[in-house]
């Protein structure tokens, strides 16, 4: 073996030596195994009892597009209702007034304590309890005319969401340093004004990631409204396969749309986070 050249100070000069590449054979094996499994799954889907022509035909069918529009309309409106109710409930929950406090706690308990699908069925069948609803002396209507599948779904999803959002909001408000309340009080702000001007804007930064999470959950929770005949995308896909028996094909169609919507929402959440993080020294991404 040839001796390697030495440097002036007597250490061997390694700068010209090749760095031996380690073969990560376990890593390669794991990757290969995963690729094989994925390929097998892909092959099963390609050769299974799936008629892909139905998938491509119905992917842009009018009924499906209308369904995804209805899904998004419901998700946005129910989430908006949920946020409004959640903010109000969170403020009530943090209020010194024991009545407001316990009503807010009771609301969270009731609507978080029962399954969403049960609540939807209750709203839809409300006319069995209240045949007519209205304002005494002014206006009355048959409950079934008011409680359409749309409204039943909106109330069911929105009020349920409010119960969850109130906890997210409360966490956000608690995350703002107590010194901020005190400073606001010191310059003579009332509680509500301090909340609106000082606390909530700072809380937003903290609540956006969990709210984004909840909204993505909401997009998919709207599918539960299919049982009360709200024509969202799963309901419409089901109607098609009730008629033509292409179950897997139509489920794949609906699945593609949900995935697309969620893929669009994720970067939107990032933008929103960036917006509410303005003015903070640490921007963690």
The contact set with another protein (CB under 8 A) reads 49, 125, 127-128, 131, 142-144, 227-229, 238-239, 241-245, 247-248
* H or E segment and range at residue 139: strand 139-142
Residue appearing with tokens 């606390």: 199
| CB nearer another protein, residue 81 or residue 250 | 250
Please tell me the distance from the alpha carbon of residue 146 to that of residue 108, in angstroms, as a whole number. Answer: 26
| CB nearer another protein, residue 65 or residue 143 | 143
Q: Which of 173, 210, 205 is nearest to 281 (CA)?
A: 205
Give the contacts of 234 (CB within 8 A, at least 6 positions apart): 67, 223, 226, 254
CB of 220 to another protein, least distance (A): 19
CB of 129 to another protein, least distance (A): 10
Q: Which of 200, 170, 194 is nearest to 181 (CA)?
A: 194
| CB nearer another protein, residue 12 or residue 131 | 131
Number of neighbouring beta carbons within 10 Å of residue 38: 10
CB of 218 to another protein, least distance (A): 22
CB of 201 to another protein, least distance (A): 44
Q: Which of 124, 269, 138 is nearest to 204 (CA)?
A: 269
Q: Which of 204, 259, 222, 263 is nearest to 83 (CA)?
A: 204
| CB nearer another protein, residue 93 or residue 235 | 235
CB of 112 to another protein, least distance (A): 25
Give the contacts of 89 (CB within 8 A, at least 6 positions apart): 104, 107, 108, 162, 163, 165, 166, 169
CB of 247 to another protein, least distance (A): 5
| CB nearer another protein, residue 65 or residue 121 | 121
| CB nearer another protein, residue 173 or residue 228 | 228
């Amino acid at each position: 073996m040839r001796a390697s050249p030495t440097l002036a100070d007597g250490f061997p000069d390694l700068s010209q030596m090749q760095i031996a590449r380690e073969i990560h054979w376990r890593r390669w094996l794991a990757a290969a195994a995963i690729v094989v499994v994925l390929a097998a799954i892909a092959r099963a889907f390609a050769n299974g009892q799936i008629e892909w022509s139905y998938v491509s035909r119905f992917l842009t069918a009018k009924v499906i597009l209308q369904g995804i529009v209805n899904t998004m309309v419901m998700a946005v409106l129910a989430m908006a209702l949920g946020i409004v109710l959640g903010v109000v409930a969170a403020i009530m929950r943090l209020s010194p007034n024991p009545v407001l406090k316990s009503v807010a706690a009771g609301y969270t308990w009731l609507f978080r304590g029962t399954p969403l699908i049960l609540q939807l069925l209750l709203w839809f069948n409300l006319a069995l309890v209240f045949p007519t609803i209205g304002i005494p002396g002014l206006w009355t209507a048959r409950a079934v005319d008011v409680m359409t599948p749309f409204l039943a779904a909106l109330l069911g999803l929105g009020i349920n969401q409010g119960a969850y959002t109130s906890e997210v909001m409360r966490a956000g408000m608690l995350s703002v340093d107590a010194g901020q309340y005190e400073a606001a009080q010191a310059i003579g702000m009332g509680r509500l004004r301090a909340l609106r001007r000082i606390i909530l804007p700072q809380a937003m930064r903290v609540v956006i990631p969990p709210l984004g999470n909840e909204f993505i959950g909401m997009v998919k929770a709207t599918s539960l409204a299919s049982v009360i005949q709200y024509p969202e995308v799963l309901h419409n896909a089901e109607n098609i396969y009730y008629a033509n028996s292409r179950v897997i094909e139509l489920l794949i169609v609906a699945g593609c749309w949900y995935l697309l919507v969620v893929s669009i929402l994720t970067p939107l959440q990032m933008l929103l986070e960036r917006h509410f993080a303005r003015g903070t020294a640490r921007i963690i991404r």
